[in-house]
Amino acid sequence: MVRKPGAGVSAPGGGRLGRALCRPLPAPPERLRRGPLRPGAFRSPLRSPALTSHLGLWLGAAIGICFLTGILSHGIQHPPGWFSWPSRPVDLYRVTQGVHVATGLAAVPLLAAKLWSVYPRLFAWPPVRDVRHALERASVAVLVAAVLFQVVSGVLNEARWYAPMPFFFTAAHHWVGWLATGALLVHVAVKLPVVRSALGAPAPDRDGPGLTRRGLLTAVAATAGLVTLATVGQTVRPLRRVSLLGPRDPAMGPQGLPVNKSAAAARVLALATDPAYRLTVVGPSGTRSLALADLDALPQYTVRLPIACVEGWSADGTWTGVRLSDLADLVGGGPHDAVLVESLQPAGRYRTSTVAPPLARDPLTLLALRLNGAPLHPDHGYPCRLVAPDRPGVLQTKWVGRLRVGPS
């Protein structure tokens, strides 16, 4: 039997759906084809699939690094039941978060160049050829919007400028990060044949006078490097003098360490400096109330640990105080008990933090009373603050007023 062309049997509904998605849509009137929509509106010889593919690879790598290090940071701050973060090496979090912020800032010029290389496609004619083309353009819009949100909100957070963000930065940044990464993976899957073809085929480096493609890529890479150099000094102390764009100088602040929130801003200064201050420790065997003199009378230990903040800055300090495990022992705490640390602050998302049992028993985990040999400055948490190894600064609770020891 001879089968006529097109007489094959298609999957139920599949063929109809495919034809519906690819059915051409009516073209808009030609009179609308003005300005950036007119033929030849964009004439730069530098734009090419090869340029876009190279920039896309760089930007994709930056987004991947930011996503992985961001997931780690979110897991440390809001740990699910299965998550565990080591206390050694003590500098691990400052490295992962420093890489996260540095890579995010370096991605700014990469993203700008990538968008420049493809934005003429926003004005393709006709704007939408068929339903499938419309869905593809919508997915790219989601990707661009999500990545722009991540970059802009990340820069605002590093600068601690929250007025333009009417939402909780940490949660929004986390979930939009998943959206951006998912949209990126879909985009890569769709464009992979184009990328492989563009990178595999020889392409002229110059298609006219002016800057070459290689020169443009070099300029973008140099700009990303310059941005990194101008900001990474807020955590890499030897580079602090050349990091002109870094919002924090790791050597500036009370007692030689930066401060994000002062005692006055936290509305805790009066309580923290009250002579009648007592630390309340609650545990399985009862409650203890300790004055500063009582804390000073307990065995004192000195450790050198960094304060590493989510904004990307970090600085080392020499801390002296009482081991958290010794305070837990005073009220019958055991090796499987966590410690809930409560600040004197009247309110705030991070006025409390939980120290998991392994970290609560770590000999480096202190309720610090002194910094660099002197009593804590009020802005650093006087009369006492939590200091633990490999822990984000937002969880190093300041102005501690109560400890609750019990099962985790």
* CA dihedral for 146, 150, 151, 152, sign (positive or negative): positive
User: What is the per-residue pLDDT for 19?
Assistant: 77
Residues contacting 216, CB < 8 A, separation 6+: 46, 51, 113
pLDDT at site 135? 84
**Burial of 130 per CB tally in 10 Å (0-12, 13-18, 19+):** middle
Digitized pLDDT (tens) for each residue of the chain, 408 residues in all: 444 444 444 444 457 777 776 888 787 888 788 888 788 888 888 888 899 999 999 999 999 999 999 999 999 999 988 999 999 999 999 999 999 999 999 999 999 999 999 999 888 888 888 888 888 888 899 999 999 999 999 999 998 899 999 999 999 999 999 999 999 998 998 888 888 888 887 656 555 567 888 999 999 999 999 999 999 999 888 888 888 888 888 888 999 999 999 999 999 999 999 999 999 999 999 999 999 999 999 999 999 999 999 999 999 999 999 999 999 999 999 999 999 999 999 998 899 999 999 999 999 999 999 999 999 999 999 999 999 999 999 999 999 999 999 997
Question: In the chain, where are the structural domains located?
Answer: 44-239, 256-407
The 10 Å CB-count burial string (b at 16+, else e) for 317-347 is: bebbbbbbbebbebbebeeebbbbbbbbbee
Q: What does the angle CA 192 – CA 67 – CA 160 come to, to the nearest 5 degrees? A: 135
User: Is residue 375 a contact partner of residue 361, using CB atoms and an 8 Å limit?
Assistant: no
The dihedral over CA atoms of 141, 311, 408, 397, expressed in degrees to the nearest 10, equals -150
How many whole angstroms separate alpha carbon 13 and alpha carbon 381? Answer: 66
- What tokens appear for 176 in the block? 């939009």
Tokens of 73: 């940071």
Residue type at 403 in one-letter notation: L
Spatial separation of the C-alpha atoms in residues 389 and 335, rounded to whole Å:
18
Q: What is the pTM of this model?
A: 0.88
Q: Report pLDDT for 5.
A: 42
Task: Give the type of residue at 203.
Answer: A
**CA-CA distances (angstroms) from residue 15 to 35, 129, 130, 182?**
39, 19, 16, 28
Any residues with CB less than 8 A from the CB of 372 and at least 6 apart, and which?
Answer: 255, 256, 317, 318
The CA distance from 140 to 227, in Å, is: 27
DSSP assignment of 93-120 equals HHHHHHHHHHHHHHHHHHHHHHHHHHGG
pLDDT of residue 205: 58
Which of 72, 90, 94 is closest to 236 using CA atoms? 94
Question: Dihedral sign, CA of 284, 288, 293, 297?
Answer: negative
CATH superfamily of 256-407: Oxidoreductase, molybdopterin-binding domain (3.90.420.10)
Residues 6+ apart with CB under 8 A from 263: 269, 272, 378, 379, 382, 399
Percent helix, strand, coil in the chain (nearest 5)?
45, 15, 40
Judge whether 44-239 and 256-407 match in fold: no
What's the confidence (pLDDT) of residue 2?
Answer: 42
Residue 237, number of CB atoms within 10 A of its CB:
15
Q: What's the Cα-to-Cα distance from 88 to each of 71, 85, 358, 363, 369, rounded to whole Å?
A: 19, 9, 12, 12, 23
Instruction: Give the pLDDT of residue 7.
Output: 42
Cα–Cα distance between 340 and 282 in angstroms, integer? 10
Burial class (CB in 10 A: 0-12, 13-18, 19+), 406: middle
- 44-239: CATH topology: Four Helix Bundle (Hemerythrin (Met), subunit A) (1.20.120)
Q: Is 307 exposed, middle or buried (0-12, 13-18, 19+ CB in 10 A)?
A: buried
CB of 399 closer than 8 Å to CB of 385: yes
